[in-house]
Structure 1
Amino acid sequence: MAGDANTVLPEVSSSARKVTLFLLTATYFFSYMDRQILSILLEDIKADLLLNDAQLGYLSGIAFALFYATLGIPIASLADRKNRRNIIAVALTVWSGMTALCGLAQNFVQLLLARIGVGVGEAGSSPPSHSMIADLYPAEKRASALAIYSLGVTLGAFMGTFLGGNVTHFFDWRTAFLVVGIPGVILAILVRLFAVEPPRGMSDLQKAVADDAPSISASFKAMWKNPAAVHLVMGVTITSLIGYGLSLWSPAYLIRNFQMTEFQIANYYAPVLALAGVAGTIGGGKLADRLAARFGLHTQSWMIFALKTCAFPFLLIFYLVDDIYLAAGAYAVALLLQSCYLGPTFALIQGLAPLRMRAVWAAITLFIINLIGLGIGPTAVGVISLQYQGWFGLNDAESLRWSLFTIAMMTPWAIWHYWRGGVFLKRIEAERAEAKMQPA
């Protein structure tokens, strides 16, 4: 395992680590901006291409997630053997170009194919990034580093909403896709030129042998046999299913139920949520590192359990009240409390993973998260909304409200997995402590 907090990492300078973390975070930012922009454009796309809620759900969820998730694992296996930085740069170029092509789509099939292309490109980003960050930062600093990286989620989602709403207001939804897609190619060049590829195992004071990377099936089996990892993956997957479903449909919910415009959502609603998300993400990462240093790594999982429990009532309020200020305030509080989970969860999983399985363990996690969370979450919201219209005769606004409420009610399931994950992590820590006390 990692050394103490004063460990010197001579292979990569402090400034190089910071630059690399910044570029990886910027890449993750572009990833989320390019996928999240669709949410603010759904109503315009629906009207222009004459789509229903189920079709919008497919575009938001399974069309992207199926390819994003399945390709992530073989690319991660490649990343455990080849240069991770170069893989990320190529992937960024691909998905940025496909995002721009979304703006040229003339019908549902063309837009579907372009979204699939975005998913194919983004498959090569996160697993290699997780592996690089785990090598750049020791275990006692990893949650904070991955929390910074996870800012790409909140800031990317905000910028996708902000740019999408404003560009659509002044131009149209097609121009919005072009505006967010093209700059990614420039970032890809910066990643290739200035990000560093760290030695594998650098931050763990041990080195992985170049030809000892296990197979994908061996990585699956190793992860499945680790109950702490299984519960963490389940917790983050259910959380992501809820989060993707709610966030991707929130602009449509606000437009239909509160008569907000895309411009208002982009300039007044989104910035508040961005601030809450950034505070929750950074604060959660720092709190997780402090708890781990004082009480053990298992407390990071229990921290998520506690904060998500506190957030749950505020999340439900968002869908039960008709006052926009009360609804938005409750959602901001919920986001502040529940945004703590990404950095600590990924840090714990990387800490549990063997050195030569890190990228693949990250890819397995992201495969499950994205196939189930991103694939099913937004799709389920759209399908359930359409079903509620048929079953109960609800209009577009009310069917979407109760569809989102239905998905939000899954939160206690995720909370339970984080509690159980902490239980098993505590056992692992006790076993490792006992092993260290045994004579050589």
Structure 2
Amino acid sequence: MKHRPEEAVDTSRAYRRSALLLLTLVYIFNFVDRQVLNILAEAIKHDLALSDTQLGIVTGLAFALFYSLLGVPIARFAERADRPRLIAIALSVWSLFTLLCGAAGSFTQMLICRLGVGIGEAGGVPPSHSLIAEFSPKARRAVALAIFSTGLPLGSFIGLGFGGILGDALGWRWTFAVAGAPGLLIAVVVMLVLKEPRRTFPLLTSAAPAEPLRASLASFLSTSTYRWTVAGGALQAVVLYGTGAFLAPFFLRAHGPELAALAAGLGLKANGFLGLAFGVTVGLAGAVGTFLGGWLGDRFHGASLKSYVTVPALAGWLSIPAFLVVFCAHDLATAFLALGFANAMINAYFGPMHATCQGVAGASRRATVSAVTLVIVNLVGLGLGPPLVGMISDHARNAMAMESKDALRLALVAISAVSLPAGLAFWRARASIDADTVS
């Protein structure tokens, strides 16, 4: 069903910028909490006696289950609730459970803590997407959502870079405490600074009852554009999260002596040096790719919106040979250079994907479409990516008698190839995106 186009909320430029920056800061700490676990994975695996499969579960599936299951109910609530307050509460919950991760003494306890982090983070992104889409002009929406999405690579930069150094200095348990504490303070700032537009602009508040969930879902799930775009995003997330969860273990296993020598020359330990290197090649390069993906989508769409799905398709395909170099290179310099390029490409889909989904859904369903998109993308990407890498690695080591580093290399090369069907799915959405976009 088509709806008339709806203009974005007309707030001041200064407020739009400050609100976007604050929401991006919240999203940064969303990923600081995730990436700290990834950079400390080998130490946690050793202390808690985990297999690669169990490591994949606590870094992916445990978080994805509750993050995904609660996303839609929270988003439905956000359509008519005070979204800044909801974001602040969610931030407080996931920050508290991040603190508790440092007290875990077993696989089960770490699993429970990661479930708690997922519960909190389920309430962060959908209301944020809804607010950003509401106060951003339509012609700038992909850039605004791309700027917000830079929270992922910037959070990765902080979580990986400082997480590695703090892990070496304080141990992994205290590092979780340091990572979780700032979120509790930022939650207070969110409560004080962000405004709920429905209070400021009464025309946004309708006395009509909320649209039934089935009708809301049908409005965008029935479109070919939404289905193909989200399929592409979900498959791309398999690569993003599958490789991301095991980068630190792979580099420590495959390049351990070289890492130790380089780190010693800088007065660091291997994990601290690796965290800083990942901060640049995963975090900063990913931020550049995320912003460029949104900017290119807006820059080239003109009368057609095809660029919103063309950009992530091409970028994903370019990441495949780059990841092959990362995992097969014999020297660290080549591997790190290729990793920077690969991560720029693999992150380019965020802004265009979310802008496409927001445009297909319409203004009254912004939080709902964001939540449904995140449910699908995270259940597939986080739920399958890290566990699949872990299972392939364990199988190659146990059934094929491969060395640990070679087994993990095989698993990572295999998972990076999923960008091929991901790009095909994005490309398929080109045929319908102009007809399906309503706002």
- TM range, smaller chain: over 0.9
| TM-score in terms of structure 2 length | 0.92
**Letter of the aligned partner of 2:243 in structure 1?**
L
Contact 1:42 1:252 survives alignment (8 Å):
yes
Counterpart of 1:421 in structure 2: which amino acid? A
Cα-to-partner distance string for 1:274-297 (whole Å, 9 max, x where unaligned): 2321221222222211112x2421
Structure 1: distance between partners of 2:285 and 2:13: 29
What are the equivalent positions in structure 2 for 1:33-432 lying under 5 Å apart? 33-199=32-198, 207=204, 209-259=206-256, 260=259, 261-292=270-301, 294-428=302-436
Which stretch of structure 1 is more off in the superposition, 163-172 or 266-275? 266-275
Post-superposition CA distance 1:29-56 (Å, at most 9, x none): 0101111211111100111111111111
**CA offset at residue 17 of structure 1?**
1.3
Contact 2:8 2:135 in 1 (8 A): no
Tell me if the contact between 1:236 and 1:345 (Cα under 8 Å) persists in the aligned partners.
yes
C-alpha deviation, 1:177, in angstroms: 0.2
What is the SS of the residue equivalent to 1:51?
coil
In structure 2, the partner of 1:26 is: 25
Letter aligned with residue 95 of structure 2: S
Q: Secondary structure at the match of 1:182?
A: helix
1:76 shift after superposition: 0.4
Instruction: Write out per-residue CA displacement over residues 57-108 of structure 1, whole angstroms, 9 at most, x where no aligned residue.
Output: 1101111110011001100000011111111000000000000000011111
Q: Separation in 1 of the partners of 2:108 and 2:22?
A: 34
Contact 1:16 1:196 in 2 (8 A): no
Determine if contact 1:200/1:355 at 8 Å carries over to the other structure.
no
CA distance in 2, matches of 1:27, 1:351: 24
C-alpha contact 1:276 1:333 (8 A) present in aligned 2 = yes
Cα deviations across residues 363-410 of structure 1 (Å, max 9, x unaligned)?
A: 000001111111111111111111111221112111111111111111
Give CA-to-partner distance per residue, 1:236-263, whole Å, 9 cap, x none. Answer: 1110111001011111111111113211
Q: Does the C-alpha gap of structure 1 residues 375 and 83 become closer, same or farther in structure 2, counting only changes over 3 Å?
A: same
User: Structure 1, unaligned stretches of length 5 or more?
Assistant: 434-440
Distance 2:123 2:359 in 1: 21
- Cα distance in 2 for partners of 1:187, 1:69 equals 24
> In 2, Cα distance between the equivalents of 1:263 and 1:95?
25
| Secondary structure at 1:379 match in 2 | helix
CA contact (8 A) 2:162 2:272 kept: no
Deviation at 1:216, TM superposition (A): 2.5
Q: Percent identity?
A: 36
Task: State the alpha-carbon separation in 1 of the partners of residues 96 and 433 from structure 2.
Answer: 42
- Unaligned 5+ segments in structure 2 are 260-269
Aligned in 2, Cα 1:374/1:126: closer, same or farther, shift over 3 Å? same
Number of aligned residues = 424
In the alignment, the residues of structure 2 paired with residue 414 and residue 367 of structure 1 have an alpha-carbon distance, to the nearest angstrom, of 17
Once the 2 structures are TM-superposed, how far is the Cα of residue 167 of structure 1 from its aligned partner? Answer: 0.6
- What SS does the aligned partner of 1:118 have? helix
Shift of 1:312: 2.1
Instruction: Verify the 8 A CA contact 1:57 1:382 in the aligned structure 2.
Output: yes
Q: CA offsets per residue over residues 138-158 of structure 1, 9 Å max, x none? A: 221100000110010000011
Q: Report how far residue 200 of structure 1 moved.
A: 9.6
**Aligned partner of 2:166: which letter?**
V
| Aligned mates of 1:73, 1:414 — CA distance in 2 | 24
Amino acid at match of 1:248: A
- What is the rounded CA distance, in whole Å, between the counterparts of 1:309 and 1:357 in structure 2? 31
